[in-house]
């Protein structure tokens, strides 16, 4: 699963390359639209994966305080570093940053505001971290409730959680049109069912309730079909609901393959290393694109635009390596000096979240 994390992060990168319009209108841009316009679905993958991995690697006898400390050490240092860079870029650009924007972003509560300038302020992608913070706050309680669910109820509960994702766009129609996108895409409560589905699927795999016939190949094919086919759905359903079920099944299928030792391309050392960089890459890539667009502009011919996109990718990878090695790993070592007992909930490799 660690290797597949980078694929999800790369799709988000491709989505932002597409929305920045580096390539002028024409066949190349049309091809990019087909491949990358649904790329934001990578965020759904991360939300489901987060619930799955945290449940899988839960430590017997752990406390909520220790759990929250590990989560803070894992996500906040990189966020703080990229937040500082985003503030510096805003100040250097002469726009400045209002208190109502920078403070919620610093504290990772910006996703609770329906104001576009707040939830997408500074380092735009950090809105998803605000959702993760909400999930982490609830996880100790949700994890205590999970064992009380009978094994036979796990699949119906998973179906119910994923069905709630489809109900969110329906509920959004009760809101003003200007708030619907925020409610569907950004609002932490609306994204909680994806995290909960990941938790339920972790227990399904742990208890051997995953259907063996639904392996890595069919799960991947279904996810690709939903990803490419989502463009034909209405906007409110396309941005989350269209892909959430196949992506959730893909997470579980990859984990089941890891448990069974089934051959998988995502376990190669190269993909695992990229997966380890994926969190830093996710936080860095749009800041890099912002700088590249400022310098190079947009609307380039196909060859030039794609070349600029590749340069952006290389710079984002370099930046993510610097962030991972210079901030993330040292901060984790510093903040988690006391060693805690290893997880014993399962035998699959433990992806970092």
Phi, psi (deg, nearest 5) at residue 300? -85, 155
**Average pLDDT of the residues in 124-134:** 98
Phi, psi (deg, nearest 5) at residue 346? -170, 175
Residue 266 pLDDT greater than 70, yes or no: yes
- Predicted TM-score (pTM) above 0.95: no
Residue 339: predicted pLDDT? 53
pLDDT, tens only, 55-64: 999 988 899 9
Which residue intervals of 148-268 are DSSP H helices? 154-172, 177-181, 188-206, 216-229, 235-238, 241-260
Give, for 82, the enclosing helix (H) or strand (E). helix 64-92
pLDDT, tens only, 335-352: 998 654 544 444 444 444
> Using alpha carbons only, how large is the chain's radius of gyration in Å?
20
Percent of the chain with pLDDT over 70: 95
């Amino acid at each position: 699963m660690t290797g597949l994390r980078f694929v999800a992060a790369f799709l988000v990168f491709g989505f932002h390359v597409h929305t920045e319009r580096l390539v002028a209108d024409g066949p190349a841009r049309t091809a990019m639209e087909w491949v990358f316009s649904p790329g934001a679905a990578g965020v759904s993958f991360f939300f489901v994966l987060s619930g799955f991995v945290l449940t899988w690697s839960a430590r017997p006898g752990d406390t909520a305080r220790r759990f929250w400390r590990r989560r803070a050490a894992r996500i906040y240092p990189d966020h703080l570093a990229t937040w500082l860079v985003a503030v510096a870029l805003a100040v250097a650009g002469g726009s400045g940053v209002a208190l109502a924007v920078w403070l919620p972003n610093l504290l990772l509560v910006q996703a609770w505001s329906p104001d576009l300038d707040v939830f997408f302020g500074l380092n735009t992608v950090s809105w998803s971290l605000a959702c993760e913070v909400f999930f982490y706050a609830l996880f100790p309680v949700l994890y205590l409730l999970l064992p009380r669910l009978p094994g036979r109820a796990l699949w119906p509960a998973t179906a119910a959680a994923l069905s709630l994702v489809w109900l969110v766009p329906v509920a959004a129609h009760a809101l003003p049109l200007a708030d619907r996108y925020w409610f569907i895409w950004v609002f932490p409560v609306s994204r909680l069912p994806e995290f909960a589905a990941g938790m339920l699927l972790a227990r399904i795999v742990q208890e051997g309730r995953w259907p063996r016939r639904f392996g890595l190949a069919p799960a991947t094919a279904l996810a690709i079909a939903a990803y490419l086919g989502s463009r034909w759905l209405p906007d409110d359903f396309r941005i989350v609901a269209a892909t959430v079920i196949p992506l959730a099944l893909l997470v579980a299928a990859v984990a089941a393959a890891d448990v069974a030792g089934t051959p998988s391309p995502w376990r190669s050392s190269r993909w695992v290393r990229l997966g380890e960089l994926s969190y830093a890459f996710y936080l860095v890539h749009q800041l890099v694109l912002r700088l590249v667009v400022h310098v190079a502009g947009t609307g380039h011919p196909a060859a030039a635009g794609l070349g600029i996109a590749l340069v952006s990718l290389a710079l984002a990878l370099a930046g993510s390596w610097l962030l991972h090695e210079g901030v993330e790993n040292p901060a984790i070592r510093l903040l988690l000096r006391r060693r805690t007992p290893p997880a014993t909930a399962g035998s699959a490799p433990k992806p970092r979240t």
